[in-house]
Every structure is written in structure tokens, then in C-alpha cells.
Amino acid sequence: MKRRNMAALALLAVMLLTACGRAADAVVTTEEMVVPEMSSKDLLVNSLEYLLEDETGEEAGEETAQTEETEKEAVTEDDGAEDEKATVICYGKDMDSGLLEEVITAEEITPDVLLNALARHNIVPLLNTKALSMEEREEDGRKLIYLDLSGSFREYLMTMSMEAECIIMSSLVNTFTANYHADAMYIMVEGETLVTSHAAYTEALPDYTPGELMTYLTALQDGGEEDAAAPEEE
């Protein structure tokens, strides 16, 4: 009986030891599995954070590069704008009001630049009127412009009433004298004195308004050049 009990106790002890061993193995195995999983998670998080930081850095770098490029383009545009010159275009719409002014910019002020701008306001024929020549002279203490235009300008005036002709001539003279800082201007067509159905422009015209030019031309028609009193210049 005692032998059986001892045998049973011994068997129980062996079974307990075996069970403990298996539990220990399970704990170790569990620990070995948990530790790598934790490390992998940490590495994954760190990798994602690194990638996000890298992408943010790249985006910031691209934005900086774009900003610098935009600033360079703006500086280039400003430099180009500084090279352009302000140009005053004078044009009229009726006899009752004075001339209107439009300021445009151009790389260089030339007769054709002024004529093209005037054409947009119907002061000269669009695309047809060209400056054949222009000369600036100092005469009797005054700066004068001698402008020679193509024949289409005279043809254009021949279709106009006297009022419209005064608006056209006044706009043309004021635009050129303003941009070339002149006192008056002679206008010719193909090398000859400009003659229309309303007047012969033998004298240099100052910066008359359309109404002042009408008064001057009417006086010429009534009594000749000697009786035509030019409006007083301001």
C-alpha cells in the first residue's frame, strides 16, 4: 500500500514538473513572440514618421522653389515695366468737351506707335495711315514738328464734316506735341501741304482744342490768314 502511494506521489510529481516545464516554455515562447512584435510596431511607426517628415520636407522645398521662381518672374516683369515709357494719347469725341487722355506704355515712342494708338479711337484710319517722315526743328525759339503722313489720312479727312475734322486734327496735334514736348506741328501728306474740303493747313498748329481749332479755321475761311486770330495759348 505504501509503495503504491509513493508511486502515485512520484507520478504526480513528474506530471507537475512536466506541466511547469510546458508552462515555462509557453511563457518564454510568448515573450519571444511579443518582443519582436513590439519592436516591429515601433519600427513601423518610426518609419512612417520619417517618411512623413521627408515628404513634408520635399513639399516645403518645392514651395520654396516655386516662391523663389515667382519672385524672379515678378522682378523681371518689373524691370521690363521700368524700361517702358508712358505715352499720352489725346482724343476727342465731340466739339463741346475738351480732349480726353489715355496713358499707355511703349518700349519706344515713335510716330507709328502714336498713330496706331490714335487709330483705336478712330482719329486716323486703322492700319492705313503711316508716318512717312517726322522731323523736329527749333525755329524762333519754338520747337516745331514736321510730320508727313501717307495719302490715306487726307482721304479719311475728305469724308468728314468740319466738326469731325477739327476733332481729328486737334487730337493728332495734341498727341504729338505732348509726347515730343513741342510747341506746334506742321502736318503734310506725301510731302505736300495738307488740303481738305474745309481748310488748307499751311501753318503750324499749336495744341488747340477742337472748339479753338474750329474758331481758327472759320476765321481763315471768312477773312484769310491775316484776319484769323489764333486762340491765346495758356
DSSP character string of 111-177? HHHHHHHHHTTTSS-TTT--EEEEEEEEETTEEEEEEEE-HHHHHHHTTS-HHHHHHHHHHHHHHHH
| 127-144 per-position pLDDT tens digit | 788 999 999 999 999 999
pTM: 0.63
Cell representation of residue 37: 512584435
Q: Is the pLDDT of residue 113 over 60?
A: yes
| 39-89 per-position pLDDT tens digit | 555 544 555 554 555 555 555 556 655 656 656 555 445 554 457 889 999
DSSP character string of 94-108? -SSS--EEEEEEESS
Say what the pLDDT of residue 28 is: 44
Say what the pLDDT of residue 34 is: 47
Positive or negative: CA dihedral 225, 231, 232, 234: negative
